[in-house]
């Protein structure tokens, strides 16, 4: 397998981690937390909190791997970390990663 193919595979894994992390954060912030505070239903936060925690750890692990394998700049690294803390930003991040993956496919 060539370096370009391996880099594209890593970018696909990073895209998956980004979507997974963004989805669990969105469910937590926009569904589970309002249910807890408006309707007094804390069980959804209790269920989604650990799921999002695992998704976040997976995202960070993929981010570390991607950083070293793909030789990302400090600005790229910072963007990726910041987007993990902003609800729905992970979906924007996924599109940026897709664009980078496509550029490797045609390089």
**pLDDT tens digits for range 30-48:** 999 999 999 999 999 999 9
Q: Which residues of the chain have pLDDT under 50?
A: none
Q: Give residue 97's pLDDT.
A: 95
- Signed CA dihedral, 39, 40, 45, 46: sign only: negative
Domain range enclosing 8: 3-105
Q: Give residue 65's pLDDT.
A: 95
Q: Give residue 6's pLDDT.
A: 94
- Count of the separate structural domains present in the chain: 1
Q: Give residue 68's pLDDT.
A: 92
- Signed CA dihedral, 13, 14, 17, 19: sign only: negative
| Distance set, CA 94 to CA 11, 15, 84, 102 (Å) | 9, 5, 11, 12
Rounded to whole angstroms, the Cα distance separating 84 from 45 reads 18
Q: Give residue 1's pLDDT.
A: 63
Q: Give residue 93's pLDDT.
A: 95
């Amino acid at each position: 397998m060539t370096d370009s193919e391996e880099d594209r595979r890593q970018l696909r894994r990073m895209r998956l981690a980004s979507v997974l992390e963004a989805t669990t954060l969105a469910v937590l912030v926009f569904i589970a937390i309002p249910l807890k505070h408006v309707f007094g239903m804390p069980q959804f936060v209790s269920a989604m909190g650990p799921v999002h925690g695992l998704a976040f750890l997976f995202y960070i692990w993929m981010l570390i791997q991607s950083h070293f394998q793909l030789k990302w700049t400090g600005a790229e690294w910072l963007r990726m970390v910041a987007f993990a803390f902003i609800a729905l930003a992970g979906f924007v991040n996924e599109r940026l990663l897709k664009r980078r993956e496509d550029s490797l496919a045609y390089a």
